[in-house]
């Protein structure tokens, strides 16, 4: 991970370029992964029991169950809180390891594992106090490249799975592409896509996925490309090939992968009212109860009911934009007029209240008081690079593209970060 950080954050471009070049030359070496068994390194007599924290478990109960005294329990709780900022255990997430020198010996060491990448070791010293040490687990991060093609009748999700992209990464890619693409109308058979993303390994075993580093999708409107990049001030964002912010202030499609059932039109025959009138938004089919995420950050300016929209929420965003979400079955808890929401925060749930023929989200974007087509309106980017960062970004992108080119030719390889 340290190396990866250097590559992504260093202000020294030459170093970054060289580092990546060296890493690329190492690609072939890492094709074969040897498995090490950490257990072999441990003392032969040492005895370890592992406890997964379950719902309702408390630290003191778990410690007492291991034969520790009440004063040990207090001592350990204090040390954990003070030195590791751990005051409560999380069910199904935290793990405790109790180490004894022999089967019937008292616990001499306790390891609290709050994440795959961090563990807190408590050791009983000679005076009976517990010493605390936090250990960061060495992480071996690899950049993996996967590419695929949309087949007839395919969804991007299916094609992505077929290409071997993990589900969690696919969801992130979806979220990114949703700023630029309309998955319902922009996805056709024959389109190619690729993703460069991180996988984290420990001792040769994959533990979890890391970040999405680069995405490319041959959309109808042209090739959509996004690159993860750390600016010189340390902030991370996604940028297009030219270094323009790829994350838009608003999403065109708040609910990913929802089918569009009715488009924006200045002239449409209303399915219930019968007569022709404008359809001021886009309808997305989704089942009742599907969470509706805010298309962008902003402040709730309406949370109300009317005969047409049913339950609806309206958000005022920075600049001149407002968005409206109609036909909700219910509002999300804590969302009221005046509430500040972040992009992606659930504001309500899909329903069929108001003039509606079935469960769907009716979504409107209003710019300077005028309804605009969410699918085609030009949306502002959240963050752009200054001149210097842009220059660095373009050089970084060039190096990254060279890496991708190598991986394209050898899909079973990866870049060691």
Q: Which is closer to Zn ion, CB of 209 or CB of 263?
A: 263
x/- track of binding to Zn ion for residues 357-396 (CB under 5 A): -----x----------------------------------
Positions 335 through 364 that interact with Zn ion (CB under 5 A): 362
Output 231 or 309, the one with its CB closest to Zn ion. Answer: 309
Indicate which single residue of 180, 198, 283, 364 sits in contact with Zn ion (rule: CB under 5 A): 283
Total binding residues for Zn ion by CB under 5 A?
2
SS3 call for 288? coil
Minimum Å distance from CB 279 to Zn ion?
A: 6
From the list 295, 270, 267, 273, the residue with the least C-alpha distance to 361 is: 295
Backbone φ and ψ for 396, nearest 5 degrees, come out as -60, -45
Determine the interface stretch with Zn ion among 51-59, 207-215, 278-286, 343-351 (rule: CB under 5 A): 278-286
Radius of gyration of the chain (CA): 26
Q: How far is the CB of 392 from Zn ion (least distance, A)?
A: 44
Query: Looking at beta carbons only, is 140 or 283 nearer to Zn ion?
Result: 283
Q: How far is the CB of 268 from Zn ion (least distance, A)?
A: 9
Residue 240 contacts residue 393 (beta carbons within 8 Å):
no
Least distance in angstroms from the C-beta of 155 to Zn ion: 23
User: CA-CA-CA-CA torsion for 268, 272, 274, 277, nearest 10 degrees?
Assistant: -30
Window contacting Zn ion (CB under 5 A); options: 35-43, 183-191, 234-242, 281-289: 281-289
**Choice between 225 and 356, CB closer to Zn ion:** 356
- Give the nearest distance from C-beta 278 to Zn ion in angstroms: 10
Is residue 286 within 8 Å of 255, Cβ to Cβ?
yes
SS3 of 229, please?
strand
In this structure, the strands spanning 140-149 and 414-416 are antiparallel
Q: Which is nearer to Zn ion, 121 or 322 (CB)?
A: 322
Of residues 326 and 382, the one with the C-beta less far from Zn ion:
326
Smaller CB separation from Zn ion, 291 or 308: 308
- Minimum Å gap between C-beta 349 and Zn ion is 17
H/E element holding 170?
A: helix 167-177
17: tokens are 């370029």
Q: Report the alpha-carbon distance of residue 96 to residue 113 in Å, rounded.
A: 6
Q: Which residue is nearest to Zn ion (CB)?
A: 362
The DSSP-derived string for 142-157 is EEEEEEEEPPTT--HH
Contacting range for Zn ion; rule: CB under 5 A; set: 107-115, 205-213, 280-288, 381-389: 280-288
CB of 262 to Zn ion, least distance (A): 6
Shortest Å, Cβ 167 to Zn ion: 31
In angstroms, the Cα distances linking 336 to 313, 369, 375 are 9, 22, 27
Contact 122, 100 (CB under 8 A): no
Reported residue count of the chain is: 417
Interface residue list for Zn ion (CB under 5 A): 283, 362
């Amino acid at each position: 991970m340290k190396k990866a950080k250097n590559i992504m954050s260093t202000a020294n471009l030459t170093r970054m370029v060289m580092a990546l070049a060296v890493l690329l030359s190492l690609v072939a070496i890492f094709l074969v992964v040897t498995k090490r068994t950490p257990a072999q390194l441990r003392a032969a007599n040492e005895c370890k029991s592992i406890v997964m924290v379950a719902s309702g478990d408390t630290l003191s109960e778990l410690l007492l169950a291991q034969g520790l005294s009440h004063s040990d329990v207090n001592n350990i709780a204090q040390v954990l809180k003070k030195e590791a900022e751990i005051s409560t255990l999380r069910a199904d997430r935290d793990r405790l390891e109790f180490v004894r020198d022999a089967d019937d010996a008292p616990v001499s060491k306790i390891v609290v594992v709050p994440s795959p990448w961090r563990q807190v070791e408590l050791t009983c010293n000679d005076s009976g106090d517990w010493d605390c040490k936090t250990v960061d687990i060495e992480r071996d991060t690899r950049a993996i490249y996967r590419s695929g093609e949309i087949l007839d009748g395919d969804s991007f999700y299916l094609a992505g799975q077929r290409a071997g992209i993990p589900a969690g990464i696919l969801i992130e890619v979806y979220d990114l592409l949703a700023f630029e693409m309309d998955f319902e109308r922009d996805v056709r058979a024959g389109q190619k896509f690729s993703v460069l993303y991180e996988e984290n390994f420990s001792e040769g075993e994959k533990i979890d996925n890391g970040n999405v580093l680069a995405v490319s999708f041959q959309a109808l409107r042209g090739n959509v490309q996004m690159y993860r990049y750390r600016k010189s001030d340390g902030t991370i964002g996604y940028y297009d090939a030219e270094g323009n912010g790829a994350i838009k202030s608003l999403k065109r499609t708040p609910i990913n992968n929802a089918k569009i059932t009715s488009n924006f039109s200045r002239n449409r025959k209303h399915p219930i009212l019968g007569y022709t009138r404008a359809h001021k938004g886009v309808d997305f089919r989704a089942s009742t109860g599907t969470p509706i995420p805010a298309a962008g950050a902003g402040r709730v300016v309406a949370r109300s009911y009317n005969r047409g929209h049913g339950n609806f929420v309206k958000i005022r965003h920075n600049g001149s934009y407002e968005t409206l979400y109609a036909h909700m079955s219910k509002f999300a808890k804590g969302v009221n007029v005046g509430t500040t929401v972040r992009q992606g925060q659930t504001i309500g749930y899909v329903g069929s209240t108001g003039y509606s023929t079935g469960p769907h989200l009716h979504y409107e974007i209003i710019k300077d008081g005028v309804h605009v087509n969410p699918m085609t309106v030009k949306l502002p980017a959240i963050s752009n690079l200054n001149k210097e960062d842009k220059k660095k970004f373009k050089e970084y992108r060039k190096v990254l593209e060279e890496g991708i080119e190598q991986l394209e030719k050898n899909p079973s390889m990866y870049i060691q970060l």
